[in-house]
Amino acid sequence: MKTQWWKKAVVYQIYPRSFCDSNGDGIGDLNGITSKLGYLKELGVDVLWISPFCQSPMHDNGYDVSDYYSINPEFGTMTDFDRLLESAHNMGLKIVMDLVVNHSSNEHPWFTESRSSRENPRRDYYFWRDGRDGGPPNDWKAFFSGPAWTLDKATGQYYLHCFSPQQPDLNWENPSLRAEIFDMMRFWLNKGIDGFRMDVISFISKPLNAGSLVFPDGDMRILVPNGPRVHEFLSNMRREVLSRYDIMTVGEASGVTVDEAVKYANSGGSELDMVFHFEHVGLDGSETGKWNDLKINLVELKKVLTRWQHGLFGRAWNSLYWCNHDQPRIVSRLGDEGEYREKSAKMLATCLHFMQGTPYVYQGEELGMTNAPFAGIGDYRDLESINAYEELVVQEKRIAEGEMLRYLRLKSRDNSRTPMHWNGGRHAGFSDSEPWIMLNPNYREINAEEQMQRAGSVFAYYKTLIKLRKEMDIITHGDYQLLMPDDPYLFIYTRSYGGEELIVACNFSGFGQVFTLPERFHSAKVLIANEAHPITEGAVSLGAFGAVVLAAT
Ligand code: ISL
Ligand code: CA
């Protein structure tokens, strides 16, 4: 049995393009990351998950890999990577890579060969099918707009792409493909990396019954996740590759339910160490997807997160996140961008960081960074946003332009991809020249330099949260119980472990809330709080976006 060090770890996600630019071309890079290791050490995180940095035509900022063995020149060289890894290790920081193997780039040599003829030995590395009634083989819609199939004139067949046409899906049914992927994983593991975050790994087994070549019609987002052979593929991967190294693995598992997660992230350790689920961040979606102005409902949020806390307890392991490179900023989504920005950022962090699981902090979250004031469609860089606008506004005219721009400001993935705010100076200290995507103009108030030297900053608060997790086993191992499930403003839960007990109380509303403490907390001591919190006569009164954690004595 390995040590399972990742159960006590805090992971920090870096989106390399937007983190720090070392050579003044406006694009973040590996040397930029190396130059900021001191900052990350100061924050106290243990693991850095770096979004893709391998060779790529960058249609999806590296989530479209054309060579898994080399570094994209915009990000640096293999020597830069080796130096980053060594420096991180010297400082006691681990590095986890993004493994993007549900699909490759359409510029990967495998795809070039595969498309070249129906007889090519690598034809079967991707999914090629004949059309149906003069159109695609089935009715699937791709994640990034349009059909999930594209006709390739060279051979007159269609290929499958669940994302964009530049991201053809790899055919995991093919054993040689699997062997090539496992070899590539060993290459990086032998370099000494500390694990993988696996991109849409829940999609790798397509819904094909044994021997059948027919893709069923229906909603691709429901049909593709958790396919018939996914657990077989992952347990083979575990046996043949992962189990030989002392690493952590987290699978991005779009469409995963608690029951499925218990298989992927089972505590027997036969597949992955944990998965990312989407249920909580999907709560402001609708049948028509994410382009709307719906808000996450707190009662629903509590229900979902509680179901995951209970469902995985003792059986599997949770990952905890509010933010990543695909999500809008949490302060803008569930907190307050104005007067209570810092306070709500701390409240949200408190709520998440006292749960059971491994917490993930996305760059800038520790500063309380917000969504960006993009003005027009020309300000966006993300293909998902641009394609959705083109499809829904320009072509189908289903959403008016102004309305769509409003939805994009709320939900676009670019909200989290604006450059990191290092200081209040030129280009926020991110780069010496114009960044590849606009800066959020609020970097003058919200930046790392200012927060690192201010005791009450969001950064300082995250440091404390991370430190508490290291010191207190109850945060890692304790039992979780939700109180007041139907309260529309308060999220209150307890953790208990070996006779100790904590109560975590968070006010998700912009006005004061009072609640009565259970008897056993009447003389409790404050572990952490984001405000002066009067506890009087067995009651707590929390101001707008207040948060407090009490330890029973
Ligand atoms: O971001 C999403 C919708 O806004 C998700 O549906 C997302 O596409 C899905 O979670 C898969 O995400 C991952 O794979 C994509 C890539 O664009 C994302 O950045 C990545 O996190 C394709 O590789
Ligand atoms: Ca650069």
pLDDT tens per residue across span 503-547 = 999 999 999 999 999 999 988 999 999 999 778 888 999 999 999
pLDDT, tens only, 406-443: 999 999 999 999 999 999 999 999 999 999 999 999 99
Ligand 2 centroid, distance to 532 Cα (angstroms) = 43
Ligand with minimal distance to 29 CA: 2
CA dist 444 and 26 (Å) reads 19
Note the pLDDT of residue 262: 98
pLDDT, tens only, 99-116: 999 999 999 999 999 999
Please give the mean pLDDT across all residues of the chain.
Answer: 97
Catalytically active residues are 199, 252
Q: Check: CB of residue 463 under 8 Å from CB of residue 44.
A: yes
Query: Is pLDDT of 2 > 70?
Result: no
Query: Is pLDDT of 288 > 90?
Result: no
Query: Is pLDDT of 382 > 60?
Result: yes
Query: Is pLDDT of 456 > 70?
Result: yes
Cross-strand partners of 491: 506
Ligand with minimal distance to 251 CA: 1
Mutate to test the pocket of ligand 1, among 58, 96, 199 (most ligand atoms within 8 A of CB): 199
pLDDT, tens only, 183-242: 999 999 999 999 999 999 999 999 998 889 999 999 999 999 999 999 999 999 999 999
Ligand 1 centroid, distance to 63 Cα (angstroms) = 9
Is the distance from the beta carbon of residue 60 to the nearest atom of ligand 1 less than 6 Å? yes
- Considering only CA atoms, which of 478, 483, 485 is closest in space to residue 303? 485
Ligand with minimal distance to 27 CA: 2
**Mind giving me the DSSP string for 83-132?**
HHHHHHHHTT-EEEEEE--SB--TTSHHHHHHHH-TT-TTGGGB-EE--B
Ligand 2 centroid, distance to 430 Cα (angstroms) = 10
CA-nearest residue, atom 19 of ligand 1: 326
289: its two tokens: 């997807």
- Considering only CA atoms, which of 300, 347, 337, 334 is closest in space to residue 440? 337
CA-nearest residue, atom 23 of ligand 1: 63
Cross-strand partners of 529: 548
pTM of the model: 0.98
SS (H, E, C) 32-43: HHHHCHHHHHHH
CA dist 90 and 82 (Å) reads 12
CA dist 21 and 426 (Å) reads 13
CA dist 21 and 35 (Å) reads 10
Helix, strand, or coil here: 501? strand
Query: Is pLDDT of 287 > 80?
Result: no
Ligand 2 centroid, distance to 32 Cα (angstroms) = 7
* Tokens 């575990």, located at residue: 238
The average pLDDT across 253-260 equals 97
The average pLDDT across 263-291 equals 95
- List own/partner pairs for 211-218 with CB under 8 A and 24 or more apart: 213/129, 215/127, 215/129, 215/137, 215/138, 215/140, 215/160, 216/138, 217/138, 217/139, 217/140, 218/139, 218/140
9: its two tokens: 């770890």
pLDDT, tens only, 165-189: 999 999 999 999 999 999 999 999 9
CA-nearest residue, atom 6 of ligand 1: 143
CA dist 520 and 523 (Å) reads 8
399: its two tokens: 């959403």
Amino acid at site 399:
I
Note the pLDDT of residue 534: 75
Note the pLDDT of residue 100: 99
Is the distance from the beta carbon of residue 98 to the nearest atom of ligand 1 less than 6 Å? no
Ligand with minimal distance to 104 CA: 1
* Tokens 């046409």, located at residue: 165
Q: Check: CB of residue 264 under 8 Å from CB of residue 256.
A: yes
pLDDT, tens only, 472-515: 999 999 999 999 999 999 999 999 999 999 999 999 999 999 99
CA-nearest residue, atom 5 of ligand 1: 326
Q: Grade residue 289 by pLDDT with cuts at 50, 70 and 90.
A: confident
Query: Is pLDDT of 311 > 60?
Result: yes
Percent with pLDDT over 90 in the chain? 96
Ligand 2 centroid, distance to 435 Cα (angstroms) = 9
Is the distance from the beta carbon of residue 282 to the nearest atom of ligand 1 less than 6 Å? no
Ligand 1 centroid, distance to 326 Cα (angstroms) = 6
Is the distance from the beta carbon of residue 143 to the nearest atom of ligand 1 less than 6 Å? yes
Note the pLDDT of residue 467: 98
Q: Grade residue 381 by pLDDT with cuts at 50, 70 and 90.
A: very high
**Mind giving me the DSSP string for 426-470?**
GGGGT-SS--SSPPPGGGGTS-HHHHHT-TTSHHHHHHHHHHHHH
CA dist 255 and 220 (Å) reads 11
Return the ligand 1 atom nearest residue 411 CA.
Answer: 4
CA dist 249 and 325 (Å) reads 18
The average pLDDT across 258-270 equals 97
Query: Is pLDDT of 444 > 80?
Result: yes
CA dist 486 and 299 (Å) reads 6
CA-nearest residue, atom 20 of ligand 1: 199
CA dist 263 and 270 (Å) reads 9
453 φ/ψ sector (left φ>0, alpha ψ -120 to 50, else beta): alpha
